[in-house]
Chain A
């Protein structure tokens, strides 16, 4: 079928919902989501949303901006960080007005707590900046915005998966999507497509990300020739449940939790003497890996402990109840009494589709791609630089989701309907047919776990030319084997076997983009840490990576960082 809407937003997480709320009313807008809409991964966000409200102690947006820039190891474009920090209080008050049930201070204001890398007075000490609703901040934000979107009558297409973007003469003309319930391939004809498809942590084996986070929303424009930015910067969150990767929010340390090594030592005192366990994630993850590599893991093994035993049952119940229950369910441990085994887990992608501050997607020569917009984790505004601070993503989603919605409203008059090219769904149908007809080969799940293991082993917290070269050659051989991927479900309805196979193409393509970008950046900055180039090198590398597919080749080039207020300095905490 062909569906027609002025604006189609791909993704019903917080970025997509916030943009939709802004666009709705004036124009015909629809959301499509591969998962049932209330299942989007924004709902997994636990710890909070940052804003310098100063409800608990003095705070200012300048400090927030500075922390964002320094947290990003100076790769952050500073005019973007300034928008984020200055707009944050408005954005959080707006969420409160819409109904988000934030926890409260004794005098009835929105409660705030400490979070990694958020400091007062330009790095002097941790500051309470994270607004939160227990440890389910993302879930309550998403339910609030979802029901507001429903109230506005925004059309939501559940369980529809984008397979292709459609362009006509360089302008977006719509997209092609697969309907899970029927197996039908539909065409969405539109004047605007906005991508809000979230992260792709499933490139890695150990991750806090959902099964749905496979990155087609980033890969599809990349396949179509749009570059990706800063792909080497992958965030590993320090505290994933050992062996599983399920996240235990940084809020646990914000509320006073401590990391301990095999001899019970609070090792972060050695790595970040001022803010210790609340150092930014890249530093804490490196510290954990270093402790483990130097034999100070628990019993010499590959994990350390998160100690919450001194927080008391009441604090755990009121502010950290979800993670308390995760630990009880999955480890059979009571965090009020026992130490929790943790290890770094792939968590967030700083890189993605290059965008300007109004959500316009930028092509290979920095030109605006007419009709194409992006926001949220799939986008790269150069906001989080080389390492995102906790609680800055939820903020990014609502600040830049809204700005993108506003910009779409302003641009629409200048974006005429493009005629659809003939049979725009043909390439997608062809890919599906080939997979369905193939009789012999390897299953996607098998190839996928090989990929995830390779990336976790060779391209994670610490990297080296040698391991990256190995990773790349394995990815390329998996890409070859992907040409013979088979499925055993040839049916039409709810065929997730087929989708697994289609998604693997995206995971492979993105893994390659991450690895090539990492191989090229010969320095250590933020989450990108090279054993063979252990120092940050501003002289040569204070620039954003862009990677682009051109005729089957990948091209890597660079663009400068926008510096306004804060000159790069050594990054210590």
Chain B
């Protein structure tokens, strides 16, 4: 069948402003949106810019906005958009470098500011640290994060407060706060306890809706809010 695409095009070093370009691709209902973009690039227009690598939702390269909803082009199939022209745009809230390629440096920097590595003060061990399956389970959903940035891009609270660290950063904070092997529980919790941290989340649930890995993002942020209130009852939130 023929599928119509309308794709955001912009090279900030050349173009005055963004434009949309239309393409028609023949595709099967079971094909990925990424397959269609590839066909456009390989057969029609080699100037189209987008990132991709693994093609099955683990590397996190091809986050973009498809018909208004952030997601991975390799996880969305043509059949989900039947009948309509498919609108493809770059992730919102990110600076466009070219077409669908956005600047990810700031995103990773944001995560790095919150020490995304285990802090362990215990003695050096010969074997593994012990951790119960129940404790391990507490991080099971957040270790699914692939750093694709769809959650942060989709979050309406980012419009209200552009300084908000965003849901992805908070998921990485959550991952270490709830790792029973980590010794910095209080410091980590304190680190997200500020206006641009957990308190900027206004429960829009957009992050949860778009997460390609089905991480319950909003719920996890709310859990941290509860833990902050319990751990630091004296401070005002």
What residues of chain A have their CB less than 8 Å away from a CB belonging to chain B?
35-36, 38-41, 43-44, 92-93, 96-99, 101-111, 133-134, 136, 139-140, 143-144, 147-148, 150-151, 181, 210-212, 244, 246, 318, 321-322, 325-326, 329-330, 443, 445-446, 487-489, 491, 493-494, 496-497, 500
On whether A497 and B136 interact (CB within 8 A), knowing A35-B59, A99-B118, the answer reads: no
Contact A322–B58 (Cβ < 8 Å): yes
In the complex, A157 Cα to B136 Cα: how many Å? Answer: 34
- Min CB gap B89→A, angstroms: 16
- The 3 A-B residue pairs whose C-beta atoms are closest, nearest first, are A497-B46, A99-B118, A445-B42
Given B98, B124, B181, which contacts A493 in the complex, CB threshold below 8 Å?
A: B98
Contact with A along B29-46 (1 / 0, CB 8 A): 010100000000111011
The B interface is mostly helix, strand or loop, or mixed, namely loop
Contact B133–A97 (Cβ < 8 Å): no
On whether A493 and B132 interact (CB within 8 A), knowing A98-B118, A143-B147, the answer reads: no
In the complex, A353 Cα to B153 Cα: how many Å? Answer: 41
When distances are taken between beta carbons in the complex, the residues of chain B under 8 Å from A133 are 143
When distances are taken between beta carbons in the complex, the residues of chain B under 8 Å from A494 are 49, 97-99, 101
Contact A246–B143 (Cβ < 8 Å): no
In the complex, A111 Cα to B46 Cα: how many Å? Answer: 47
Given A103, A147, A325, which contacts B214 in the complex, CB threshold below 8 Å?
A: A325
Contact A246–B60 (Cβ < 8 Å): no
When distances are taken between beta carbons in the complex, the residues of chain A under 8 Å from B117 are 98-99, 144, 147-148, 151
Contact A136–B97 (Cβ < 8 Å): no
- Min CB gap A473→B, angstroms: 25
Contact B112–A139 (Cβ < 8 Å): no
Contact B47–A39 (Cβ < 8 Å): no
The answer to the question of B25 belonging to the interface, with a C-beta cut-off of 8 Å to chain A, is no
In the complex, A144 Cα to B176 Cα: how many Å? Answer: 12
- CB-CB nearest in chain B for A90: B126
In the complex, A279 Cα to B13 Cα: how many Å? Answer: 55
The answer to the question of B156 belonging to the interface, with a C-beta cut-off of 8 Å to chain A, is no
4 further A-B pairs in the complex, CB-CB below 8 A; given A445-B41, A488-B47: A41-B59, A134-B140, A139-B58, A489-B47
Contact A39–B143 (Cβ < 8 Å): no
- Min CB gap B134→A, angstroms: 9
- CB-CB nearest in chain A for B43: A445
The answer to the question of B230 belonging to the interface, with a C-beta cut-off of 8 Å to chain A, is no
In the complex, A440 Cα to B144 Cα: how many Å? Answer: 46
When distances are taken between beta carbons in the complex, the residues of chain B under 8 Å from A39 are 51, 53-54, 59-61
In the complex, A487 Cα to B45 Cα: how many Å? Answer: 9
Contact A246–B130 (Cβ < 8 Å): no
Contact B132–A104 (Cβ < 8 Å): yes
- CB-CB nearest in chain A for B175: A101
- CB-CB nearest in chain A for B176: A99
When distances are taken between beta carbons in the complex, the residues of chain A under 8 Å from B53 are 35, 39, 41, 210-212
- Min CB gap B180→A, angstroms: 10
The answer to the question of B179 belonging to the interface, with a C-beta cut-off of 8 Å to chain A, is yes
When distances are taken between beta carbons in the complex, the residues of chain B under 8 Å from A38 are 59-60, 108, 147
- CB-CB nearest in chain B for A332: B30
Contact B133–A103 (Cβ < 8 Å): yes
On whether A105 and B55 interact (CB within 8 A), knowing A110-B128, A133-B143, the answer reads: no
In the complex, A459 Cα to B181 Cα: how many Å? Answer: 48
Given A98, A136, A246, A446, which contacts B56 in the complex, CB threshold below 8 Å?
A: A246
In the complex, A488 Cα to B93 Cα: how many Å? Answer: 30
The answer to the question of B139 belonging to the interface, with a C-beta cut-off of 8 Å to chain A, is yes
- CB-CB nearest in chain B for A247: B56
The answer to the question of B195 belonging to the interface, with a C-beta cut-off of 8 Å to chain A, is no
Given A109, A181, A210, A488, which contacts B46 in the complex, CB threshold below 8 Å?
A: A488
- CB-CB nearest in chain B for A35: B53
When distances are taken between beta carbons in the complex, the residues of chain B under 8 Å from A139 are 58, 146
Given A40, A93, A329, which contacts B127 in the complex, CB threshold below 8 Å?
A: A93
Contact A35–B61 (Cβ < 8 Å): yes
When distances are taken between beta carbons in the complex, the residues of chain A under 8 Å from B59 are 35, 38-41, 43-44, 210
- Min CB gap B172→A, angstroms: 9
Interface centre among B32, B43, B136 (most CB of A within 10 A): B136
Interface residues of B in 54-70 (CB under 8 A from A): 54-61
30 A-B pairs with CB atoms under 8 Å apart are A35-B53, A35-B61, A36-B104, A38-B59, A38-B60, A38-B147, A43-B59, A43-B146, A44-B54, A44-B58, A101-B139, A101-B143, A103-B136, A134-B143, A136-B58, A139-B58, A139-B146, A143-B147, A211-B53, A211-B54, A211-B55, A244-B56, A246-B56, A322-B58, A330-B30, A330-B32, A445-B42, A487-B46, A488-B45, A496-B41
Interface residues of B in 127-166 (CB under 8 A from A): 127-133, 135-136, 139-140, 143-144, 146-147
- Min CB gap A533→B, angstroms: 36
Contact with A along B77-90 (1 / 0, CB 8 A): 10000000000000
- Min CB gap A565→B, angstroms: 26
The answer to the question of B75 belonging to the interface, with a C-beta cut-off of 8 Å to chain A, is yes
Contact A109–B47 (Cβ < 8 Å): no
